[in-house]
């Protein structure tokens, strides 16, 4: 067995290091990201996929999805789902557009109103799930339909259409929807949200509470973890993130649409699972979810540059979802078997 020296005379088998790497939630999604990027680089590199414009295309797509996928992933780690994010995205966008263009409300105040809408929606979801014990799948699905109906009804009542134009300028719009060449400001929002989430999971007690809540709810309660508070905060976080995306999207396309965010209902959980999040909760990483969002963006834009029919994109994503789940399970089983097979090393210098 090959070995390597680490630290003060401690000899570790290479298989142990491989097992440690393979057990990381992001490992499988990293391999898939490299493989998918390589595939499109070979098949569409000459068509513009590797240019600045091509890179910006898939990064912009990944960023918009990642803004909601990261909070959704944290919620999934805690053992819950939120299917209302799509309606929150659309309702927030149409709220900003109507309040600004129809009633002359300052853009900044409209943004605050939209974020409050997301917060209230998340709060309502969390309270219903915690107080009633109903599955979050059912609660948030019902909330999604209710909010979608309200957004459509109010937009048609006030503006006689489900799409309302929005024209705003100034530093606030640049902060939300500015561009750096072909790269949208949403990429920076995605990075900021991801870094914050990574820090919370890895460096704070709240991050440990999230894993404990999703891993074993009863044991976490007995250990004193405020599981209800954890879930409530995470539901509020997903609502606010969805509202933020709705505002960003409205500012980018200069309009609000009541149904514009429905695709995120399934896209966000899909990239979370591709990124290594377990549907049963208690396991996963933010970095893996970022890779999952990148995979979605690469496939969506890569197909365009190959010249193939982009209608095949859902087929690719569906196949990747199945392969990612199978691959992540195989990698974890292999890593765990390797861990059991490696003999315990003798203590050297008083350290194991």
pLDDT digits (tens, 9 = 90+) for 34-87: 988 998 999 888 888 999 999 999 999 999 999 999 999 999 999 999 999 999
In the chain, what are the domain boundaries?
3-341
Query: Taking 60 as the threshold, does the pLDDT of residue 202 lie above it?
Result: yes
Q: How far apart are CA 137 and CA 269, in angstroms?
A: 12
What pLDDT was estimated at residue 21?
Answer: 62
Give the model confidence (pLDDT) of 101-156 as tens digits.
989 999 999 999 999 999 999 999 999 999 999 999 999 999 999 999 999 999 99
Is residue 277 within 8 Å of residue 284, measured between CB atoms?
yes
Q: How far apart are the first and last CA of the chain?
A: 19
Mean pLDDT of the chain: 86
Mean pLDDT, range 168-175, rounded to an integer: 89
Q: What fold does the segment set 3-341 form as a domain?
A: ABC transporter involved in vitamin B12 uptake, BtuC (1.10.3470)
Choice among 85-89, 113-117, 256-260, 329-333 with the minimum mean pLDDT: 329-333
Q: Tell me, letter by letter, the H, E, C secondary structure of 295-335.
A: HHHHHHHHHHHHCCCHHHHHHHHHHHHHHHHHHHHHHHHHH
In the predicted structure, residue 6 carries a pLDDT above the cut 60: no
Q: 37: which residues sit within 8 A by CB, 6+ positions away? A: 298
Query: 276 falls in which pLDDT band (50, 70, 90)?
Result: confident
* 312 contacts 300 by C-beta, under 8 angstroms: no
Give the whole-number percent of the chain exceeding pLDDT 70: 86
């Amino acid at each position: 067995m090959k070995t390597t020296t680490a630290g003060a005379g401690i000899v570790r088998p290479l298989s142990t290091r491989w097992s440690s790497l393979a057990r990381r939630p992001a490992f499988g999604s990293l391999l898939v990201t490299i493989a998918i990027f390589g595939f499109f680089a070979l098949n569409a590199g000459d068509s513009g996929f590797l240019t600045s414009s091509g890179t910006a295309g898939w990064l912009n797509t990944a960023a918009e999805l990642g803004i909601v996928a990261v909070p959704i992933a944290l919620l999934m780690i805690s053992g819950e789902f939120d299917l209302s994010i799509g309606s929150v995205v659309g309702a927030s966008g149409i709220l900003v557009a109507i309040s600004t263009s129809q009633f002359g409300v300052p853009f900044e105040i409209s943004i605050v109103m939209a974020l409050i809408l997301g917060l209230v929606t998340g709060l309502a979801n969390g309270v219903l799930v915690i107080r009633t014990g109903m599955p979050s799948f059912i609660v948030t699905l019902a909330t999604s339909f209710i909010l979608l109906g309200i957004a459509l009804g109010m937009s048609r009542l006030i503006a006689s259409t489900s799409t309302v134009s929005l024209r705003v300028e100034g530093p606030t719009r640049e902060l939300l929807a500015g561009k750096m060449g072909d790269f949208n400001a949403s990429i920076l929002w995605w990075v900021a949200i991801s870094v914050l989430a990574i820090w919370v999971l890895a460096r704070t007690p709240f991050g440990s509470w999230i894993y404990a809540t999703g891993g074993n709810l009863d044991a976490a309660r007995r250990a004193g973890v405020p599981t209800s508070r954890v879930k409530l905060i995470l539901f509020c976080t997903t609502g606010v993130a969805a509202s933020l995306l709705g505002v960003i999207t409205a500012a980018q396309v200069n309009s609000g649409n009541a149904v514009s965010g429905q695709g995120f209902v399934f896209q966000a959980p899909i990239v979370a699972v591709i990124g290594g999040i377990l549907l049963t909760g208690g396991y996963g990483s933010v970095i893996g979810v970022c890779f999952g969002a990148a995979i979605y963006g690469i496939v969506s834009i890569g197909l365009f540059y190959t010249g193939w029919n982009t209608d095949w994109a859902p087929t690719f994503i569906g196949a990747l979802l199945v392969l990612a789940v199978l691959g992540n399970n195989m990698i974890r089983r292999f890593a765990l078997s390797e861990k059991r097979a490696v003999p315990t090393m003798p203590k050297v210098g008083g350290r194991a």
